[in-house]
Structure 1
Amino acid sequence: MPSNSSTAERGMSRKELLGLPASIPLEVGNRALRIGRTTGYALARRGEYPCKVLRLGNCYRVVTADLLRVLDVQPDA
């Protein structure tokens, strides 16, 4: 498995982004935003993540629609 920093650097393609479900694990949001794991969790804990995050028990989920808005990715018309 690649290290966290290389995963964050890789990012995600537009096609991958548009294929995401309604909410995604924080790690996937981190990858899309090119944020490292530690930084992503710290931002989520402080309520400073760049898009809407849901806390479900011990899990953080990123709202995909908000992630796409932040990244300015729009589906084809």
Structure 2
Amino acid sequence: MSQVADITIADVRALPPTVDVVTAGKAFGLGSTTAYRLARAGEFPCKVVRAGGGWRVVTADLRRVLGLDDQERAAS
């Protein structure tokens, strides 16, 4: 059984416009197998798109689902 590495709020804010499913899954505390299973089933917690032979997660939607956009607006 593999362990999910911690990803911080600062890490999420520093992500590029899209990330792989494993990276996004870490933000939700998911392991890679579960993240890919949810993506294939259309049940991943945020927007996932097929790109070539892989899956990409739109970072803006990841931040929105995690409530980080609201925190950034409130701090402004």
**CA displacement 1:20-64 (0-9 Å, x = unmatched):** 111001111011111111111000001110000011122111100
User: Map of 1:1-77 to 2, 5 A cutoff?
Assistant: 4-7=2-5, 10=6, 12-74=7-69, 75=72, 76-77=75-76
Identity %: 39
Asked if the contact 2:4–2:30 (Cα under 8 Å) also holds between the matched residues in 1, the reply is: no
Gaps of 5+ in 2: none
TM, length-normalised to structure 1: 0.83
Gaps of 5+ in 1: none
Where does structure 1 differ by over 3 angstroms across 4 or more consecutive aligned residues?
none
Number of aligned residue pairs = 72
TM, length-normalised to structure 2: 0.84
